[in-house]
Structure 1
């Protein structure tokens, strides 16, 4: 189980790199959906099959792996966009920054005073790398949909942290994290729809036209 968890976490890191380096919105949404599916496996792989882990995994799979990606794919069909155009930072520099951030998180995790059962795992560095990769995507892209993906990746990093504390955290707290994610995506969906209706584009730079 330990080796399977580490394998899933390595795939999560690779999907971070793919999303940072891809201009195709559909491919990025599918990559984040696969990432959500991998995260849904982690509670079971880490803590075994219990009612608690099955409920947490099922909720993560439905929201992160299926429902929210479906909403985003539907959104890009409605606004008829396929690619991210002219990001604030180019794809190669973004990938290099992502690689530096990921390397830094793995180095930083080695200095943390972790419990013995977590010292050989990849949960902490992967959680930090995914969190900061999402933040990087959120800050360097112009399209609102890509920024939603950054928010999803950022929350995925928080979710990985939560799995380590699954035995100690009440189920309602974990359910609250998933609910916050769902509400955040719905709010961003409303914002995207309003931007597209007013400006015929979802380039967030056009919001500067609202100022006096």
Structure 2
């Protein structure tokens, strides 16, 4: 019988495919936000005994990933007047097919890994691998900087899932470290996005090719 954690990981994997197949930037942001909330809840489900430190990190993770960062991305989208990804480097159907193939490969490949017995039948590892692959496809295949930031967030969610495998041994260290990396990464990316918008009056990263020394 599928556990609640596996169900949530399965939903997160489905949101990966939604992000890959959608041309509407707001849909990608919403998929990332919902995925952040789902993954933020998982430490509470994986812990056998209540730990207020884990609960605090989980709440902060859900708040940052599910609400704060998506709200900032939505504001940037409205300021830049971006609604759709028009001409991606990798089309939406090919992206969706890549995501589906990557997800199936992740599920099949995880079975061959030397995992602990409690992780062997879990979707944590396949979900982590599939999310990392999805993040790479979005980073490489999208033109708009906001969509690429969403790819970074999904990639980080995959790393977060890998970190959950160690939650029983180093819960606070794993989760706080991942959250710190996320905040720093988004801060840097936010500065880059702002500079692109100011310099080119657009968030189309293809315009960076016209830069000269």
Task: State the TM bucket, normalised to the shorter chain.
Answer: over 0.9
Aligned-residue offset at 1:174: 2.6
Whether 2:199 is the aligned partner of 1:198: answer: yes
Matched, 1:44 2:67: no
C-alpha RMSD over aligned residues: 1.4
Secondary structure at 1:187's aligned position in 2?
Answer: helix
2:12 aligned residue:
12
CA distance in 1, matches of 2:174, 2:122: 24
Does residue 122 (structure 1) correspond to residue 123 (structure 2)? The answer is yes
Q: Secondary structure at the match of 2:3?
A: helix
Partner of 1:132: 133
Offset of residue 61 of structure 1? 0.4
The alignment status of 1:27 with 2:27, answered yes or no, reads: yes
For 1:94-141, what per-residue CA distance to the aligned partner results, in whole angstroms no more than 9, with x for missing partners?
Answer: 111111111111111010111111111100000100111011111100
d(CA) in 1 for partners of 2:212, 2:160: 37
1:198 Cα deviation after fit: 1.1
Matches for 1:95-114 after TM superposition, within 5 Å: 95-114=96-115
Instruction: Name the counterpart of 1:70.
Output: 71
1:90 corresponds to 2:91: yes
What are the residue-to-residue correspondences of 1:162-173 with 2, within 5 Å? 162-169=163-170, 171-173=172-174
Q: Could you state the TM-score of these two structures normalised by the residue count of structure 1? A: 0.96
**Could you tell which deviates more after superposition, 156-165 or 168-177?**
168-177
How many angstroms apart in 2 are the aligned matches of 1:3 and 1:94? 29
Q: CA deviation at 1:164?
A: 1.2
Quote how far apart the aligned CAs of 1:161 are: 0.9
Q: Can you give the 5+ residue segments of structure 1 that lack an aligned partner in the other structure? A: none
Normalising by structure 2, what TM-score?
A: 0.95
**2:56 corresponding residue in structure 1:** 55
**2:186 corresponds to which residue?**
185
Segments of structure 2 that go 5 or more residues without pairing to the other structure are none
**Separation in structure 2 between the aligned mates of residue 38 and residue 173 of structure 1, nearest angstrom:** 17
Deviates more, 1:164-173 or 1:38-47: 164-173
Helix, strand or coil: the match of 1:105? helix
What is the number of equivalent residue pairs in this alignment? Answer: 212
SS at match of 2:87: coil
**Stretch moving more, 137-146 or 39-48:** 39-48
Q: Indicate conservation of the 8 Å contact 1:68/1:182, yes or no.
A: no
2:146 matched to 1:141?
A: no
Residues 1:45 and 1:2: Cα distance change in structure 2 (over 3 Å)? farther
Task: Could you list the structure 1 runs, at least 4 aligned residues long, displaced by more than 6 angstroms after superposition.
Answer: none
8 A Cα contact 2:193 2:203, kept in partner: yes
